[in-house]
A and B are shown apart, each in its own frame.
Chain A
């Protein structure tokens, strides 16, 4: 009769919403509303040109803007009433521990470093930084992570340069056979 209850559903409803989780929900709901308002405002700047008697390029953006504003406000109201969105579960997630913000920040920093380095020193080095930085941040043994990072980045570079005919910027390896496509 009743649908089977998953353990995740139980634990999600039984944990009392913390104040910080609530604050985060308000911010996210607010961002959805802000995106909707931006959509509505920016839609007015679209020069509406189209054959007479048809719907121009503005109508759909207006509808999307309204949808975002309405759902954002409703999400905020739901949060006000204590109905928080249940966090998604995943195999590797331990829902009982607190959010590890420093790790998240470090991963974002590693990604930023990666995209900033590509044009400076080339893709292989930027990729090594990304893999090594991410693995180390997540708790890998540093020298193992470094070895895998170097091998993986160079292997991908070789495959792209020789096999696929698409060349990733070699950067510091410019002119090196196999690595520079």
Chain B
């Protein structure tokens, strides 16, 4: 009841021409960076963080949320039309979507992805609207020890459960935590790891790290093994408004939504998991499973819906607990922080007008994205064809500009280069970069909560686990980890017999 009026007020705010324009700017930018290889929403939001100095919070967050949602839409266009899939969360889409495009059914693949994204994004935003205030009410009672537990869960799942190598994920997390340590300790004013360099005493800016690891790291990585020659884009062909299209698409959209949203919500998020699960489900339920691998529309509709629903799900822990579970979400937390706002349970009471305007703008943004990605998809096909040398030179230029514009000191560019080179080697050796960004932003928060807990308990470590909520969180985490280890061992045991011949 109360939240419905709040939502309507949010719509009244978000529908003002000024905010509509910000939303349009966000979703357009988001689609563009989603379409373009080499840049993603996390880096774009990081590059635009300096906007927080000149824009008011509601406007900036509407732009960032638009970029976040838009990136999910744009990625599918690339994986359907480009012959070379990338970006993990859309790999599954590429499996079927790219084959559909090559078989002359590109229009149908693009349409089912766009409409599926819209359906899933809207339903998931409704679920977010319904759930978030309730979760925030419950979360108000959580103490510092409970937050520590939640962060440990987030660290472990982001670093160790996702990705091919848990050890490398944890190492990446460690590097992020270390970067977060550099600077002045908030509680005692002590300098840590600054090497006596004055620039480092304020810490290393999130913009520099995110841009370094995503933009510079990615540009160097691509440059090392660039696919030369013209960009091969599959021409869009075929009709999509057919009875068969709707009949085969609507169920996967809904299934994808209800697979994706919960996965996004729990701090084991990441869109990739949800797309894989949705794909597996569609394959299993398909009447003609033999079509999978040859361009089955269900294999595009389901995962694309799941992907967008998961993106909305990620906003639940972000807005209600202040817990980011993806790199983009972590950078959005940094945006909140630069306004002195801590996302968390108090957000819905202290900044109610802002947060409801933000949620309302998600509904509006979804409609805009449907228009941008369905009738206007041809524009993005052009964007996709930008010759790569210019694209990556541009990425480097704006990365350097964004970094330099934070403080107008050249020292930041040196840090950018170092982190960029580190990001390059991390990509080469299977160290995922998302845990680094999450560690960088959650690390200082986690340290503060640990120290607050121990301050209350007079230094007794048991206080970290004795709260009922924390105890439950750690037990669930232990169970999930045990399950994951069993799965890994079983998979390893079955491998030699499963694939003896190449």
Partners in one complex: yes
- A residues at B contact (CB < 8 Å): 3-4, 6, 8, 14, 24-25, 28-29, 32, 35-36, 39, 42-43, 46-51, 53-57, 59-61, 64, 67-68, 71-72, 74-75, 78, 83-95, 97-101, 103-104, 107-108, 110-112, 114-116, 118-119, 123, 127, 130-132, 134-140, 145, 148-149, 152-153, 156, 160, 164, 166, 168-169
CA distance A14 to B228 in the complex (A): 24
Evaluate contact between B429 and A85: CB separation under 8 angstroms: yes
Cβ–Cβ contact B425 & A130, under 8 A: no
B279 contacts the other chain (CB 8 A): yes
- In the complex, A91 Cα to B232 Cα: how many Å? 11
Given the known A-B contacts A119-B410, A145-B393, are A140 and B387 also in contact in the complex, defined by CB atoms under 8 Å? yes
A residues in contact with B175, CB < 8 Å: 32, 35, 68
CA of A149 to CA of B396 in the docked complex: distance in angstroms?
12
Contact present for A93 and B167 (CB under 8 Å): no
A93 touches B181 (CB 8 A): no
Known: A49-B190, A53-B458, A75-B171. A91 touches B430 (CB 8 A): no
Neighbouring B residues of A6 by C-beta, 8 Å: 91-92, 95
* Known contacts A88-B427, A90-B38, A91-B82; is-contact A130 B396 (Cβ 8 Å): yes
CB-based contact A140/B429 at 8 Å: no
Q: Which residue of B lies closest to A144 (CB)?
A: B390
Q: Is the interface of A mostly helix, strand, loop or mixed?
A: helix
| Cα A154 to Cα B82 with chains together (Å) | 33
In the A-B complex, the 10 residue pairs with the smallest Cβ-Cβ separation, listed nearest first, are: A85-B430, A91-B37, A91-B86, A138-B389, A140-B389, A135-B393, A134-B393, A71-B171, A115-B413, A57-B185
Interface size class of B (residues with CB under 8 A): 35 or more
Q: Report the bound CA distance from A37 to B365 in whole Å.
A: 47
B222 touches A (CB below 8 Å) = yes
Stretch from B1-9, B102-110, B239-247, B448-456 contacting the other chain? B448-456
Nearest residue, chain A, Cβ from B181: A61
Residue among B82, B187, B443 facing the most chain A CB atoms (10 A cut-off): B187
Q: Which residues of A contact B454 (CB under 8 A)?
A: 54-55
Chain A CB within 10 A, most for which of B37, B188, B405, B425: B188
List residues of chain A with CB within 8 A of the CB of B216. 111
| Shortest beta-carbon distance from B415 to chain A in Å | 10
